[in-house]
Amino acid sequence: MGKGFYISKTVGIVAIIVGAGALATIIALSVVYSQEKTKNNQVSPTDGQTTSKPPVTTPTPSNEPWDKYRLPTSLVPDHYNVTLWPRLTPDSTGLYIFTGESSVVFQCVEDTDLILIHSNKLNYTKLENNQMAELLAVDSGVKAPSIKSSWLQHVTQYLVLQLDGKLVKGHRYHLHLKFVGELADDLGGFYRSEYMEDGVKKVVATTQMQPTDARKAFPCFDEPAMKAIFHITLIHDSGTVALSNGEEKESSIITVGGQTLQKTVFQPTEKMSTYLLAFIVSDYAFINNTIDGVLIRIFARKPAIAAGQGEYALNKTGPILKFFEKYYNSSYPLPKSDQIALPDFNAGAMENWGLITYRETALLYDKELSSNSNKERIATIIAHELAHMWFGNLVTLRWWNDLWLNEGFASYVEYLGAHEAEPGWNVKDLIVLNDVHRVFAVDALASSHPLSSKEEDIQKPAQISELFDAISYSKGASVLRMLSDFLTEDVFTMGLRTYLAEFAFGNAVYTDLWRHLQMAVAASGTNLPDTVHNIMNTWVLQMGFPVVTINTETGVVTQKHFLLDPDSEVTVPSPFNYEWIVPIKWMKSASRPQKLDWLVGKSVTIEAMKESGTGWVLANHDTVGYYRVNYDQGNWQQLLNGLNTDHALIPLINRAQLVDDAFNLARAKIIDTVLALNTTKYLSKETEYMPWKSALNNLDFFYLMFDRSEVYGPMQNYLRKQVTPLFNYYKTITDNWNKVPDGHMDQYNQVNAISLACRTGLEECQNLTKTWFEKWMNTKINQIHPNLRSTVYCNAIAAGGAEEWEFAWSEFKTATIAIEADKLRSALACTKQTWLLNRYLEYTLDPKMIRKQDATSTIVYIANNVVGQPLAWDFVRARWSYIFTEYGGGSFSFSNLINGVTKRFSTEFELQQLKQFKADNAEVGFGSGTLAVDQSIEKTIANMKWIAENKQNVQKWFEAEAKY
């Protein structure tokens, strides 16, 4: 048995009985299932109905334990035995099902006559006691009470077992159940994924448990603090491959009703949370290697493995794993690290302990078809998931309200792991664009939320799912990066290591990490203005962030809560009155960064920041702080002069920061919009990726606001003038587009140059992309470099008609790697033909055309197109109930969908439509998009005001600056 727990004779006997009986029971269950359905008026298992009727409930609020979303604290699981048999072919009614048998041994820590165990969309077989479960005592000298009633409480997702006596504190009990569920295509729990191989449909049975879907696979105490050891057995078609968290212990051939099957038993897991479980049955191939005794395997569809698409992931997993062992000062806790690419998978990847699941685009790389951004995504996602093997899996947060620490931490250190894998990329810098700037846009709204929520405010599965947002991931990453910087990485890792050592195989809360970091601060003699706890709570327990204003004439530094719309009303009170303890790293012109200064309270005077004459002051060096910076007018002017005369004197990341801060300060009416636009004038001399990308990200807002107005023409003329030197620069260094630039960031900026040049109507660029695409159509040989495909496809399809679109659609349907299919799927949304876009929208809700995992992002791609935006909005409004119902399971993407289809909104008419949409669908709900609806309303109001105040000046500026 698994190490770390004692097994008594009684449990041993019970385990043997369950093991021997499991097979016969599971066989019988598939027969029983059809009878169950008949009794349940032909209800499918996803409705979770059973032969037992729950008691009639009254509409008055209930105080019964089964009507509360959190488990009582009376029972604690020790270990589970779970046997599952997924059917990879449909039954006579057309349903794919799985049958299962499970037992759990739990300890009673408070006397109780009630067992609540999570269960969702499972049907149970009545056992010999005529109930849905059987209960035995494990310890000798104690008799288990009988189950007097059992029913399913659907809303709170419990199987409820009422007993005729008390379970006794200090004793252990054994609960045995038999069940059946649907192996649906809903991307949650135990589900099925389908793909075609050589004209044959293949089915994979796979899992996605996080956050609350383990209960869809088997009955369990489905909360992260309810850690246990799991003994998993899978029964599967002969010749298929079965995988789980543990290593394979034994495999045997069995015969069931004349059918030859395989039975695979896995080694018991470590003590772990239910949301990290995984079990998969597939017809996959794999490649493997071993590093320091750890077996690393990459599983994927056989043609993908044969084509070498798993090699990059295999080569990088080992070094990243070794990096984290060193970073955490802790050996990888498992004997194997399996990684598997799935055709249908809702998230990017999932950190199941020992069996990490990925979208195909996040794991498979083909040097002929994948771009450098695809390669970077694979390296960073592998690093993100491997970081979780310790932070999240070995030590798990006690409840979902602290999800931000789990995901924010992995989102920060993924850059460190990817840097280890690809040291030449400078990938660590990109956290500023990908996370800091990205989340600033959301966190500057009055409808934002703090990183950490109160435990009592996060109860329902929908509330938990809503936490998987940009705040948890990107703000979490940003503030942890800031913390690591002001502590120094040595002190940060010192605290991290003692934290992991204390809580290994257990659970913690975020303040436990603060305590360990404070111990490291004390041990190292680091000087801080307050405790780690007090400093960080200002960033964790209140939403938003400050704008720090520096007056270089007086040296006075002040802070204020930064709001994108200064007129928006902040109704959420803050325990710190929206003040932060702010670390400020700063420099003066042509000098090294100064020492770290702190802003504690509303203002402070820093004499050294005074500057007169032609010098400038620049704060938030390398954007390590989670705040924006504003200056007095004189210093802004000196910074602009610095950009225009010798921009290299300003650090690269800060050039990107100046552009981003200026545009957002202008949107918040803190500085003039013309000042922000002036930060782009120097770009005609800039060849680096980060400043250009920062500018384009901000100018995207101008496109959204003005691509339907008379400002559009002059704006296009100005940007064409600015990008032409960059376009010519890349034409030269690539030998007329025949070579690939050497640097990772240079390859990125080549894409920016072509994309913006074509978008602004540079004829040479448009002819180039049309020629490349036509050559592909005519010769059927695609010679477009993978780095350039997304932008070339999009521009050629936008310039073309039905012929180009149909060609791209045909290539999409026959693409052999998901990365190429994704490029085409995005580009198909670029057409200007309304009828094609409407047809494409219809395709998004047909899983035969567009996979369920890709539906919402495809609708957003269409909405990004100025022609497609109103079509996508009408489509989402008309189909919301269907989209929400059909695509709700396991989906965290509704917030992206709502933000995506509404981000152009800037008129009173659109605002009223949005409010009506919210009212019309209040009953259906918005799931993980609930907050996004309010944020979209807030953003629309802000956009309306911004256009009213800025349109005239912006148009004049573009007209004046567009002249050569």
**Contact (Cβ atoms closer than 8 angstroms) between residue 150 and residue 161:** yes
Nearest-10 crossing angle of helices 868-887, 908-920: 10
- 426-451 in b/e burial notation, b at 16+ Cβ within 10 A? ebebbbbbbbbbbbbbbbbbbbbbbb
Q: Is 543 helix (H, G, I), strand (E, B) or coil?
A: coil
Residue 205, φ and ψ in degrees, nearest 5:
-95, 120
Q: Cis link prior to 335 (omega < 30° from 0)?
A: no
Token pair for 798:
């936008």
**Dihedral sign of CA atoms 546, 551, 557, 558 in order:** negative
Residues shown for the chain: 964
Q: Is 385 a catalytic residue?
A: yes
Q: Are strands 596-599 and 582-588 parallel, antiparallel or unpaired?
A: antiparallel
Alpha helices (H) along 525-632: 532-540
| Phi, psi of 84, rounded to the nearest 5 degrees | -130, 145
Strand partners of residue 237: 261
Closest Cα partner for 124 from 101, 147, 105, 106? Answer: 101
Tell me which residue of 209, 139, 212, 131 sits closest to 177, measured CA to CA. 131
3-class secondary structure, 613: coil
At position 140, the amino acid (one-letter code) is S
Q: What are phi and psi of 649, to 5 degrees?
A: -70, -20
Q: Of all helices (H) and strands (E), which one includes residue 295?
A: strand 294-300
- State how beta strands 506-508 and 395-397 pair: parallel
The CA R_g of the chain, rounded to the nearest whole Å, is 29
> Are the C-beta atoms of 177 and 282 separated by less than 8 Å?
no
- 740, 739, 643, 765: which is closest to 694 by C-alpha? 643
What is the Cβ-side half-sphere exposure of residue 7, based on CA atoms within 13 angstroms?
14
C-alpha–C-alpha distance, residues 934 and 562, integer Å:
18
User: Which of 272, 422, 394, 383 is CA-nearest to residue 329?
Assistant: 394
Helix (H, G, I), strand (E, B), or coil: what is residue 20?
helix
The DSSP secondary structure of 912-943, one letter per residue, reads HHHHHHHHHTTTT--GGGHHHHHHHHHHHHHH
Closest-CA residue to 528 (of 587, 597, 481): 597
Residues 6+ apart with CB under 8 A from 664: 440, 441, 444, 562, 564, 628, 698
CA 681 vs. chain centroid, Å, equals 36
Six-digit token pair at 457? 């405010």
Q: Which residues of 484-523 form beta strands (DSSP E)?
A: 506-508
Q: Which of 376, 385, 414, 611 is catalytic?
A: 385
CA distance 517 to 495: 4
> Cα separation of 465 and 151, whole Å?
26
Classified as helix, coil or strand, 26 is helix
DSSP letter assigned to residue 636: H
The residues annotated as belonging to the active site are: 385
